[in-house]
Each structure stands twice: as C-alpha cells, then as structure tokens.
Chains A and B, each alone.
Chain A
Amino acid sequence: MPDQSLLEDLDDDREFNVEFVGNFGRFVSFGSYPVDYFLTSLSMKQAYSYLHFARDIQMEDINFDLLMQRDIDEARVENEIMPYLKQDSGATSTRPLFFPPLLAAVVPVEGGRINSLYGSKSIQEVKPGFSGVSWEKHFQVYGKVTDKSDGLNLAPEIPGAPKIKAKQAVLALRTADVNDGGVMLVVIDGQHRLRALKRLMDENSQNIKDLILPVCIMYPPNSHSGVQDPDTTPSIPRVFRNLFVDVNSTMKEVGGHFNILLSDKNVGDIACRVFCDEVLKSYGKEGLALIEWNTRGKKDAYNVTKKYTSSSIGILKRGLEDNFKKDSYVYRLLKITAGSQDLFPEGADDDEYYPKIKWDKFSYAQSNSVKKRVNDHLVPFLLRLYFESVPFEKMKKVFLDEIKALKNQSQKGGHEGLNAQAVLSTILEYKPLENKAAFKSRMLDFEDAVEERRSELGLDVLRYALFQRAVFQALEKFIELGISFSVSPEKSFEGFLTLFDWIFENNASVFNFDQPYMQYTAFLQRSIRTREDTKRSFSDVILANLLREEVRGEISQLMCPDSTRLELDSSLRDEGFRAAGDLLGRYREERKSLFKKNFDMDYSLEKNERENLKLLEMEQKAAERQVKDGKKEEHTIEKKFDQKVSEYVEEYYVEAKVAFRKSLNIDGDLLEQDDETNDDLDDGAEGGED
C-alpha cells in the first residue's frame, strides 16, 4: 500500500488530469498498422469542453495538415444538422433522434503545434491489480489485470506486458488546455455534428443538457518517441489523415479537394498536398489563400471559383495528370533511376518495394521517398509557376495589396475595422463570413478591387481552369522537346517560363476574347467554351509565340548553350508553326460547324444573305434526301449550301489568320513555313536572276 501522504502530494502534480471509463479495443487486420480505440460516453458539458475542432488551435506558424483538418462546412451544419436536432417541439415525443458515435483522435499538442509522435510508451502498474500502458506526458490506458483468454494485451510487442479486462478500462489524459505539451481530443469524424451541438449549446444549453454523446477515442499506440526508428514510423498526423479518408470515403464522399489532399495514392495528389504545404511555408497564409484547396463541391473543385484566388489544386492535379502521367515523365521529373536506393533498396521484397514505380502505383514503403522527391524536384516548378512567374506574380501583388489595405483598416478599429477583420479572417483563416450586410459589402468591395486591378493588368485569362491546364500542356511540349535534346526537365521548365513570362510582359493581349482567332477556338463572344479543345487552343497560342525570333533565341540559348542550339531553335520554330497551324485549322472547322448551325441568327449577315443561305440549305437537304432514297446519284447533286458556307468561312478564316499574324507580330505568311514565296505573276516578275 503506498503511503497516503505521498499520493496526496502526487495529486497536485498528477500526470493526467481527466479520466474516462469505457471499453478498450484494438483494430488490426492482415498486419495493418494497429490503431487502438476507447469507447466511452461524454455528457454535453464534457463534450463541450474536451472535444475540439482542429481549427480551435490558433497558431502563428500553422501547418497545412491542421489547416485541412479544421475546415468545416458551415452550410452543412446550419442547413442539415441543426435543423435535424431542432425538430419542431410538437413532434418530439414521438420522433426519435440519434447520432452515431463521434470519432476523436488523441492528438499531442505542444506550443500549439501537433507533435508527430506521442511520448515514449511504457508499462505501468497504476495500483495493485490494475496495470496499463502510458505514453509519457500524454495519456494512459489501464484496466484490471486478468489471465483469462478474453483479456486484451495492452502492448503485445513488449515482453511480459499485462493483459487487462477490456470491458472496464480507464483512459486518462493530460489535456493540453491545462498542461501545455499534453493532448487534445480532436474530432476527426463528426466535427460537423459536434459543431452543430456546440452551436445549440451556445444558443440555449437547456434544450440539449440531457444528451450524452457516444464517443470513440482512437490513437495509434506504436507512434511514440520510444520507437527505434522514428523516421520510418508513421507519424500521428499521417495516421489520422489515412483514417480520415477511409472513414469518410466509406461513409460518404469527403468531397472535392479533400479527396485529393487526403490521398497518398498518386504523384499528382501528393504534389498538390506538398505544394500546399510549401506554399504555406514560403508564402504564409496569404499565399495559401491564393490557392483554392478547401472546396467541397465536385465540380467547383476543378475551377477557380473565388474572385480573388489564382488557382485551385484541382486544376493542378489535372494539369499534372493530363500531361505527366507517363512512366518516362515520372522517372525524369522525380529523378528516379534503377539504382535509387530509397525506392529500390537492394535485396528488398518486391511486395514491399515495387520494382517499378508508376504515377499511381508505389508501395506504402516507397511513398515517403516519392513524397520527398515530389517535394525536391516537382514542387519547386509549381511554386515558381504560381508565385514567381510574371503574370501570377502580378496577381499575387494585387491580392497582397488589397489584403494590406484590409489589415490597415482592421487596425483602425470602429465599424470599418470590424468589417475588415471579419473579411480577413474569412479569407485567411477560412472562417465563415457572418451573415451581416456590412461584412458582405466589405467582402464585395475587396473582391471588386482585386478583380478590377487584375483586369487592368490583362490577367483575366489566367483565371480560366482551361487556360491553366493549357499551360501544363505547353510545358509538357517543352519537356518532351527537351528530352530529345538531352535537356533536363529543370532547364526545359526554365525555357518554358521564359516564354510564358515574355508573353505576359510583351503580348498578353494575344489571348483576348476579342481577337478573331480566339473566337470559336476558345471563346464564344465573351464566354469561354468549356471543352477540351479550348485548352488545346490556349496551349497553341502560347506555343505559337515561339515564332517570335527574339524570345525563341533566348530560350534555345538557355536550354542548349552548346552546338545543338541552332537545331533546338529550329525545332522550337517548327513547334510554333505547328501550333499556329493547328489553331487556325481548328478555327476553320469550328467556324464552319457553328456557322451552319447559327447562320439564321447571325445578324452580322444581311437579311437577304440569311434568307439565301436558308434556301440553299433546304435545297441541298432535299437533294440529299433524294440521294438517300435512291432517286438521284450522289455525284449529280451540287452542294451549293456547303460551297456558300465555305466562301463565308474563308473570309472569317483570313480575318482570323491576319489577326493572329498581327498579334504575334511576325513577318511572312503564318502558314507557310518556307520563306520562298511563289509569286504567281504570269509574266514572271521575279527580278534579280541575271
């Protein structure tokens, strides 16, 4: 029996300050990484104070893992869950309500940051007959020791670890709100339910004071600092991330961006995730606010939906996946060779380390290395493109200027200060904007200001997802071309950026919707045509700028400073011609098919022209019917309508061609690569032969 007075002394400095009683269990299947859990119940009052949202943790140096976890879809809370709980009172006597248990993770927190591991794990006898395991300074699980076969071993990997009666266990926590460096219970599934409950508590706690919540608390017992090799041990954030996806994807779709961010399954998804991490590290919250990463709608996930952002990780994912999925690119971009020890260690088991890595096929053991390679070799490209290239840099500046204005205003206090503060925390902290007219109007002002300045700088085209995906497509051309000249992807990327920057410095209007060649190929009047061809058109316009000698020279010099420079230069020029030709070819086809469809609504044609076309169309259709019915031979009919359409389209085509040539500002005919001209003067006016 320990000395009573000693116990009292200990009481002041207890390691753990909260205890729950419940059932202990373990989830392991086919050798999976073990996760232990603890089922218990919490009164609303306890839930209110002990269960946290990830976003409750405020910190300066926020990391992306946490940012992601803490994102709550307030609309769902307000429109679905709260109304469910607030069934109208008349029906309460007959209408039962229930929530499945909340799932909360035991998260070690220190100085506001998630620790990657728990404190080291050890066996402890808590009191006679009661034994358990504790993770130093974090938490402890114990129960009555038993020898029976239904007893559960708390730590099977430790020799001589006790078995306890699983059905009567105690979970003791050292909570972070009392002791810094302790743990928090962070809800990873059911945070919307919890949010709804907390909001109802705030409104009127009387209505839900009798509610006792079922809660399942979980933790990976082996992720602790006492392990032999902490580097290969799955970190706590990572384990929970995996569980978050599994739990949510089997129940309902996590939705939109979260499916990308929470997946480790392919290089594209990892790149998005690492990209966000790095953006936050290098450019802070302001930088991350420029990239949409927490959109939940499936369709919106692949577009730029906010007025002030420059891109979305959905676009990034698609841009990468559409162009760089091929094995050869995966190996080159990530600098993987057959001898890469981190991925293919000698003598490793083929099941554990796949002998061949693909875009979406690598083992769990290899995924850390893949992630590191993505971080080292791929993400720097993306950061430069989205934050340092000429147009995106301008966009960033516009945004930061307006943020600065908000910050200045928020410091002034008063109503204006409050409004500015609310807008700032929506943009930078992702907190929902309260439904107040003044807040909304300040937000609108902010958005309008960003939009207006962006337009003035000629950057509107950047915001189209299809344009950004076209950028990746054009980049792929560069890398492909680079490979055939043995140029590294880094160099090819530099080459591409040179072109991209040059265009936006010198010729940004080349993408304007009012350029005749952009109509039909990418735009219809002022709206973009949402189809894959639009992407090709943008990419062609980017690449057609290679016809400009000055920028092409700079690029070939940069990529191939040696003797092959001229060869590369001419390949780049060919690519420029190819792109220009493809764009114009596409223009002709599209113009023709839309002209046929819409000529009777085309008021740029005179009324009599429209009528004449209509007549020709009817005649031709009638003749074609006769051919079909076998009354006429196909070669006997004249396709006058088609001919007339071609005449019109030819005119539009020339207009588009001329405009394209002008906007590229190049000499010679755009479609004739050969400099020799065929002068068709019948009297042979080519002078200079003698």
Chain B
Amino acid sequence: MRSRFWEFGAEVEPDEIVEAVEILLEEHSTGSDFLVIPASSLNALTGEKSAYLKSRFSDVFPLRVPVTGVYHKSFFVFLLAKVLGLSEEYTHHLYDEGDFQSVMNCNAGKLGHAVNSLEESAKIWGDYGDIVSFQLEDLCDLVEELSEGDVGVILKRNIRKINQEYSFFRDTLYGDNVFSSGELRSAGTAKSLLLKWRGLIGRRVNTCYLVSPEFDEVLSHIEKLLSRLNGDKTQINAANYESGFWSKLFIVTSAWYLRLALIQKERKDFYREFILCLVRSFELALQASALYCKRAELVPSDGSIIFDGKKIEGCGLYISKVEDRKIRTNLKTGEDIGDFVVEARKFLSLRNHSSLAHGLLDIDRENFNDVFSGTKAMISRVLEPELLDEFNFFFNNFKLPKLNEALMKAFKDSLTTLL
C-alpha cells in the first residue's frame, strides 16, 4: 500500500485544519497516512482536536522550523520516508487554498537509489571495501547536487563526515604505516608501536567531529596513554621505556590486530593475512602480560623486549615462558597451563604452515570463524583481569558503526534540524 504525506505548509486556522482532515480522510483512507504540520499550528489546537488528528494519522510530524519552497518541502518528505523505512512509492500532498495538491519530485528517487546501492555493496564487500568507499564519495556528490535547504546542507555535512571518518579509519587506522627500511630495522617492537600510534593521533587533528563517540573515546585513551609514555615533554620523539604503561599500549595494539583480522575476514579477498593478524594479536597479548608482571623489560635504545637480560623474539618463545610460569598470567593450575600451551602451539603451527610463513597453502574460509573465536578465547584466558578489561574495551570500540546504520543516523540527524 502506498504511503501518503499530507502537509500543511503554512499556518492554518485550527478549525480549517480539522475540517480539511475530515474531508480528506472521508474521501480516501489507506491506513498509512502521515501528517506534516507547523508546530505552532499544532500547538494552537485544543487538546481534543490535536488528539483527533493524532488518532487519524499513522504519525504526525510538527515542524518546529518553517520549511520554505516546494523543493525543500519535497526533499524533507523524502528524508522522512527514508527514516520511516517506507518504500519510495509514496505520495506527497500540500494543502493549498482549501485543497490538497500533489507534489512531484523525481530527484529524491535518484538519491534513494544511490543509498540503496551503497548499502547493498557494503553487504557484499564489507563496510571498509574499496568499492564501498568509491560509492560513498559518489553519494557525497549526489547529495551535494540534490539536497535542498538547511536540512539538505546538514545531510550533506553528515554524509561527508561519514566519508571522512570511514576514510580515516580505512586509510589511517588500518591503512599502511610505511617507513624507510632503515627506520624499520632500527625500531624494536615498543618503538614501532609508538611510531604507529603517534602517527595516528597526529593525523587525528582534523577529524574533530566523529561519527562514533566510542571510537573517539578510544582515540582519546590512546592519546592520554602516549603522553604518559613520553619521557621528555620537550621532545616529541622521546620515549620513556621504563614507564609501567607500556603493557597498556601492547594491549591496545593486540586488540587492534584482532579487529584487523576481523576486518580482513569481512573483506574476504585478504584471507592470507587473516591468520597473520591473529598471531600478532596473540603474541602482543603475551608480551603485554610479560611487561605487566614486570618480568620483561624494554631496551632504552630501540624499545625491543628483553627477558632476563636476553632479547627474545617469536611467539613460540613466549608460549614457553608461560609454560615455565615465567610470565604471570590468569592461568592458575598446571592443567590450565598445559591445555593452553597445547592449543597455542597448534595455533602457531597453523601460521607456520600457511603460505605467507613457511608453507604454500592457506586456511579454508570455512574455518575462519573457529580460528578467530579460538584465538580470542585463548587471549581471554591468558590475560589478567585488568589487562583483559582494557583489551575488551579496545577490541569492542576499534570499529565504526555499520555503514547502513551510520547513514540512517545521518538522515535522522538531518531531519531533527526541522522537527
């Protein structure tokens, strides 16, 4: 059934409103009728009359700010229909000199189509896929071309912000972190973490308005953490490798890798890297534990990790340290530890036999979910409560709202400009 919007464009006397509505609904009633009316007109009605109106329509939308111009009006109704989740086949009627007249606007259809196709693409390729990013930019252009009035400007700004935030997320948070080979070789694990996150926070400056407050909180946390790891406030690149906060930065990065694995999984064409990300996440969680219980230290020159005075590298060695109880973890009994070690070694051998390590084959996509949740469970078992809380906080918030949700929010926010 077609939905219909009935609009009183300007202020109308209360009696006339009621009369017009009575005639209207007597003539044809479909059960999916919406009323748009200036808030001042609605407020001027008696309680009885306004209750009557509300009872006759599926919903009533009082406009708190006058909408001027017929294109502006029809654009507004298009957004309303979108937010209400109605099909595009609605009709829009404007009250004029005692009668309702039909309003036509085919542009809105174009916009609706673009939004639908973007949402479809996101379903197929994941929210962070390249195709989705191109389509999002196209949508920005289209909104720019079609939007009307203040509500249009706000929609345009909102969609741009989504695009901006998604591109920050895709290109900066999960994008390439490229350094010269010299820099790369000279950076120990801790230092490379510092470079990554400092770079990220440095580029955050221009994204002051974030679509997702949770993501914003994550970044603020990291910023605070980084300031605590800075040994010398006058030097941007100085690091205090003695700080007790390093385990936290390792945890942040571990959570980030796990989320990256999930994104790779959704992007589907990157399944080879999926397993590597999981191993890195796992390894960083173990390193964080070693630093947290103060068994491991960082070398002041390059931030690499030493254990009992010796540099150690490789996930397997950390598993041995857990086995020897040299790293304090949340695993309490010998049995717990034994089980954990067996599972961890199995997981590691999966990585070692895959094509980007020492083998030639890769894991079947159908096993993705099992491996992912297995890794997450291992991390949850091994981390001590305080670290685990941090880990979960970061893992849960290293993401943006789903693209379709973000778009819907953008529509809603634009509408509240007037409602």
A contact residues vs B (CB 8 Å cutoff): 514, 516, 519, 525-526, 601-604, 606, 650-652, 654-655, 657-658, 661-662, 667-669, 675, 677-690
Contact = CB atoms under 8 A, between A and B. Distances in A.
A604 B150 contact: no
Contacts of A684: 96-97
A421 B176 CA distance: 51
A422 B192 CA distance: 40
Contacts of B153: 650-651, 654-655, 658
Given A604-B160, A681-B69, A658 B9 contact: no
Contact of B65 (A514, A526, A604, A669): A669
Interface residues of B, number: 37
Interface in B30-74: 39-40, 64-66, 68-70
A686 B66 contact: no
A677 B208 contact: no
29 contacts: A514-B209, A519-B208, A603-B206, A603-B207, A604-B161, A651-B153, A651-B156, A654-B153, A654-B154, A655-B157, A658-B153, A662-B416, A667-B40, A668-B66, A669-B65, A681-B9, A681-B68, A681-B70, A681-B96, A682-B70, A683-B96, A685-B9, A686-B9, A687-B16, A687-B95, A687-B96, A687-B97, A687-B98, A688-B13
Nearest to B416: A662
Interface of B: 8-13, 16, 39-40, 64-66, 68-70, 94-98, 137, 150, 153-154, 156-157, 160-161, 164, 203, 205-209, 416-417
A475 to B, nearest CB: 31
Contacts of A657: 150
Contact of A690 (B39, B97, B161, B206): B97
A298 B11 CA distance: 59
Nearest to A670: B65
Nearest to B152: A654
A514 B220 CA distance: 14
B206 A604 contact: yes
Given A658-B154, A679-B10, A686-B9, 9 more contacts: A603-B164, A606-B137, A654-B154, A655-B154, A679-B9, A682-B70, A683-B96, A687-B12, A687-B95
Contact of A685 (B66, B94, B156, B209): B94
A670 to B, nearest CB: 9
Contacts of B96: 681, 683-685, 687
A600 B207 CA distance: 15
Given A519-B208, A687-B8, A658 B68 contact: no
A688 B16 contact: yes
A688 B411 CA distance: 32
Contacts of A688: 10-13, 16
Nearest to B144: A651
B66 A680 contact: no
A658 B69 contact: no
B10 A526 contact: no
Nearest to B17: A688
A685 B40 CA distance: 17
A580 to B, nearest CB: 14
Given A662-B417, A677-B10, A654 B150 contact: yes
Contacts of A668: 64-66
**Which 4 pairs, one residue from A and one from B, show the smallest C-beta to C-beta distance?**
A677-B66, A688-B12, A654-B153, A685-B96
A221 B16 CA distance: 91
A516 B209 contact: yes
A668 B205 CA distance: 34
B72 to A, nearest CB: 9
Nearest to B16: A688
A661 B206 CA distance: 24
Nearest to A519: B208
B209 A690 contact: no
A650 B161 CA distance: 17
A155 to B, nearest CB: 62
Contacts of A601: 206
B164 A685 contact: no
A667 B39 contact: yes
Contacts of A525: 205, 208
A36 to B, nearest CB: 53
